[in-house]
Amino acid sequence: MNERTMQLPEGERLTVRPMQATDAGAVLAGITALSPESFRRRFFSAVPRLLPGMAEALTAVDDRHLTLLAFDEAGQVVAMVEAIRDRRDPQSAEFAVAVSDAYQHRGIGTRLLRWLSHHAAEEGVVRLTGFTQIDNLPALSMFAKAGAHRWVEEPGVYGFEIPLVDDRVQAPLVELGLAS
């Protein structure tokens, strides 16, 4: 995927592009700026801090990580969506979405998930999987719009799966709510 511009309803523009190795500092700054509630929703932790190894995992740029970043006009990371391929099954990738508090409830996560879905399908991923807490209503809504199948993974946690098909194989992304 190349760089794109996302126009927000208020007229503000975000630049969206795949993460590069030089983005590590900006990604970590964006994550540490999340409110405690947003951090809990993204990382399932009541303590808003990254544990050892998490920073490296979040900023990895390799063939297993598909990460899109959204930058505001000041160059700050305000949202990210990532999919990490399963080592045992490279056609499956676990995804996660984080949107900074000031940019939530504006459709950014949904659009990033749509773009990631297209990008992942082009890279040979046939399913995105993920997890969210049952009280994360914005995520539940976003995944429902994407046509995700959900199940109870453990008490208080839903698991999700979004099947993907590459557009070259007549993708049902429109039916899944993931079409552009």
Phi and psi angles of residue 31, each rounded to the nearest 5 degrees, phi first = -65, -45
pLDDT at 46: 74
Which pLDDT tens digit goes with each residue over 63-110?
A: 899 999 999 999 999 999 999 999 999 999 999 999 999 999 999 999
142 is a domain residue: yes
Percent of the chain beyond pLDDT 70? 91
Q: Are 80 and 27 in contact (CB under 8 A)?
A: yes
180 is a domain residue: no
Q: Domain limits at 82?
A: 4-169
152 is a domain residue: yes
156 is a domain residue: yes
112 is a domain residue: yes
User: Which residue reads 């993974």 in tokens?
Assistant: 153
177 is a domain residue: no
State the Cα angle at 78 between 32 and 179, rounded to 5°: 130
pLDDT at 171: 43
Buried b (16+ CB within 10 A) or exposed e, 145-161: ebebebeeeeeeebebe
131 is a domain residue: yes
pLDDT at 178: 52
What is the number of domains present in the chain?
1
- Which CATH number is 74's domain given? 3.40.630.30
179 is a domain residue: no
